[in-house]
Structure 1
Amino acid sequence: MSLAVRNQIDVSVSLAGDAIAAVEILPRVRPPLGRLFAGKPAVSLLDVLPRIFSLCAAAHQVAFLSAIEAARDENISLTTRQHRIVMVVAERLAELLRGLFVGHFALDTTSAAAIRALMEGVSALLSSAEPSCGQVRREAIARVGIALTALGVTNEDGAPALGNPLALSVAALEEDALNPTPMQHSFLSVADDRGVIERLVDDAGFCRCPDLEGRIPETGAWARQMMRDQLTLGRSGPAERLKARIAEIVRLHAWLRHDAHVETAEDGIIESYRLGPGRGAAAIECARGRLYHAVELDRQGQLLRFEFLAPTEWNFHARGPLVRSLQGVVLVAKPQARGAVRAMVGSFDPCVGFTLNFREIGDA
């Protein structure tokens, strides 16, 4: 059995003078899990998921389990739900922090000790999600908090302490190298679950190129912040998305620190849907946005069908949020503009690597 896939997104930006005339996206090729595991026991896929999805592995496992349970019309205990929410939140925190390590602290040798402590704390947190590891988890959360403070990540509004590498990154991203055109924003939420799931189970091509009656919403940390805080739409560049990431890191850490009660968890973080005998689906709010799984089982509990839809398919859709954010943008400071475009692409945080290519097409 081979799971070899094209695990990369290619973004091509066409420039006409000082403006972006077109943005083309060649998506990744998704692993054909439904075909590969059709006819096999559902549990056979559970242990494979972390090897296929190295990022957000816990979210995929919880989504798959929740969809299976919905298909079987099974109820889970409050303790199990609590455990799964902690798993998803801890992993989301780790994934959001990973983006800070890679994108904004990679060359900062002065913060090496704090980064090492933070990574060790996050690793301990991820391995302590079991209910029996409460004390270990509390100690790991405390270590993460100390390291975040050392790195200047304490402010709930996403503004890092002045003078630290993150503050310098935010300031650099706020420079007006790009002049975007006004655009309408749309965000993926729990209210969209039924519509997404119906299309996911009825249309085999939907998972590769999703839309909701022509609407292709954004999902992820910035989208969550906009919906949660009901903020007025203003700037929506990489600086705003970085600040939303920082604010969410602080908020998730605070929730874990205060005993992580189910009652205070965010709405819609784990939702499951029974679609009929042997058919179920689930939606999980993970680091990059809303993740969907849908399954169909035969009477022996073997997989007849398995579909999944990751957040990246929305954000990196050919007519999606990234394309809309770049289309028509004027390059104000041209020497820095290509770096600003790369920062915009990176701020949408795809779950796979990406390439970015520019080509000049002349004035059109």
Structure 2
Amino acid sequence: MSFAIRNKIDVTVWLAADVIAAVEILPRARPLLARLFAGRPASSLLKQIPRLFALCAVAQQTALLSAIETARDEAITRTTKQHRIALVVAERIAELLRGLLVGHLAQDIAGAAAIRSVMQGMSALIGSGQPACGAARREATARIVAGLAAIGMPNGDGAPRPGSPLAIRIAALDEIDLKSIRIAHSFLSVADDRNIIERLLGDDPTFCHCPDLGGRAPETGPWARQMTRDRLWLGRSGAVERLKARIAEIVRLCDWLKSGAHIDSAEPGIIESYRLGSGRAATAVECARGRLYHAVELDPQGQICRFEFLAPTEWNFHRSGPVVRNLQGAVLTARRHQKAVRAVIESLDPCVGFTLRFRKVDDA
């Protein structure tokens, strides 16, 4: 998302010798969209979404449009829903690829040609601001898959080709990655939707800024989706695992698009809408960084009198959320000091920039 206000997250890591004693997160200042949207016709806002949200504009627009339609009690055809799911998935692939290429393979000279092929496919898939459809989408997806195979994207066994750019990157990340920290994991899922949307339109104005579910701030995103789907609750939980989950999801979603993007085989819960009474509704959309929520309340004339949204970053970069849980108590070495912490933060892929500072407990 891009706004003129302080649109970044500040992370301060407190060190006691070589142990992370505490992690403080100063969240971004969220845009005051509720004030901007209030009193305006719902239909006039949809075209503004791409200007307001630089990232995941399709998911944002789908969430708002679906919430408005549900508030009006309008019926959505199966064909329309299938089309929207395909667009959201295409955008999700593009965002996951962007994070993979920029965050992990940007300096890879050996794989430059393959990376260019992936970027060309990604541009064809969603570069115009509206994801490609039909034959164009299949052609763009095929180009992406071919390019990914060249940089070592895994097939059925889930492991990148030995010696490939991806395998080399994973090995390098594994060397600096924080080793397993035993923590209690919590993942956001469709089962949480009803609770969240009722609180979004409830009486607590702080919920959309600092959400919680019974005192917990669950993780959302590719790794959380993988853990929830496959029920893999144990094992390591560092930057390497999140990178592997990103790779696996790209492969899985590309396969779905190539196979025809049929709604019956789509991932459950990609777009879910809920009506909360006359003129009140919300929609959840599973986008690249996690689960996104838009909630609206319309007046009798169809104008928006209340609008709330909740992005995945608010969960992942919560003051007691996944970043804090994964870092606090970790033992660092001089070699992996800043790189290891930065890798964990980047693995959770905030939708805005972040600053990272280290301070010693003795300096407090």
The TM-score bracket by the shorter chain reads over 0.9
Distance 1:347 1:177, change over 3 A: closer
Deviation at 1:132, TM superposition (A): 9.3
Deviation at 1:126, TM superposition (A): 2.0
2: distance between equivalents of 1:197 and 1:62?
Answer: 16
Per the alignment, in what secondary structure is the counterpart of residue 335 of structure 2? Answer: helix
2: distance between equivalents of 1:184 and 1:229?
Answer: 17
Partner of 2:336: 336
User: Does the CA contact (< 8 Å) of 1:188 and 1:290 recur in 2?
Assistant: yes
Distance 1:150 1:181, change over 3 A: closer
Partner of 1:106: 106
What is the aligned residue count? 362
User: Does the CA contact (< 8 Å) of 1:159 and 1:246 recur in 2?
Assistant: no
Distance 1:205 1:131, change over 3 A: closer
Deviation at 1:170, TM superposition (A): 1.1
Deviation at 1:251, TM superposition (A): 0.3
User: Does the CA contact (< 8 Å) of 1:128 and 1:136 recur in 2?
Assistant: no
TM-score computed with the length of structure 2 as normaliser = 0.95
Deviation at 1:337, TM superposition (A): 2.1
1: distance between equivalents of 2:261 and 2:133?
Answer: 13
* Cα deviation digits, residues 253-304 of structure 1 (max 9, x gap): 0000000100000111100001111111000010000000000011111110
* Cα deviation digits, residues 321-361 of structure 1 (max 9, x gap): 11011111111x32222111100110000011111110112
User: Does the CA contact (< 8 Å) of 1:14 and 1:22 recur in 2?
Assistant: yes
* Cα deviation digits, residues 129-182 of structure 1 (max 9, x gap): 989941212211111111111111133564321112221221122226634531
Per the alignment, in what secondary structure is the counterpart of residue 154 of structure 1? Answer: coil
Counterpart amino acid of residue 57 in structure 2: A
5 Å-filtered alignment, 1:42-121, equals 42-121=42-121
In structure 2, runs of 5+ residues without a counterpart are: none
Partner of 1:358: 358
2:237 matches 1:217: no
Deviation at 1:244, TM superposition (A): 0.5
5 Å-filtered alignment, 1:203-242, equals 203-242=204-243
State which drifts further: 192-201 or 143-152: 143-152
1: distance between equivalents of 2:131 and 2:16?
Answer: 57
Partner of 2:301: 300
Per the alignment, in what secondary structure is the counterpart of residue 357 of structure 1? Answer: strand
2:322 matches 1:324: no
Counterpart amino acid of residue 134 in structure 2: G
1: distance between equivalents of 2:276 and 2:117?
Answer: 45
Counterpart amino acid of residue 159 in structure 1: A
In structure 1, runs of 5+ residues without a counterpart are: none
2: distance between equivalents of 1:104 and 1:131?
Answer: 24
Distance 1:130 1:262, change over 3 A: farther
2: distance between equivalents of 1:129 and 1:29?
Answer: 26
User: Does the CA contact (< 8 Å) of 1:220 and 1:288 recur in 2?
Assistant: yes
1: distance between equivalents of 2:363 and 2:350?
Answer: 31
User: Does the CA contact (< 8 Å) of 1:128 and 1:137 recur in 2?
Assistant: no
Deviation at 1:17, TM superposition (A): 0.2
* Cα deviation digits, residues 74-104 of structure 1 (max 9, x gap): 1111111111000110000000000111111
User: Does the CA contact (< 8 Å) of 2:70 and 2:282 recur in 1?
Assistant: yes
1: distance between equivalents of 2:345 and 2:184?
Answer: 18
Deviation at 1:4, TM superposition (A): 2.5
TM-score computed with the length of structure 1 as normaliser = 0.95
Partner of 1:262: 263
Counterpart amino acid of residue 192 in structure 1: D
Cα RMSD of the aligned pairs, angstroms, is 2.0
1: distance between equivalents of 2:225 and 2:259?
Answer: 21
Distance 1:270 1:77, change over 3 A: same
User: Does the CA contact (< 8 Å) of 2:220 and 2:315 recur in 1?
Assistant: yes
1: distance between equivalents of 2:57 and 2:239?
Answer: 26
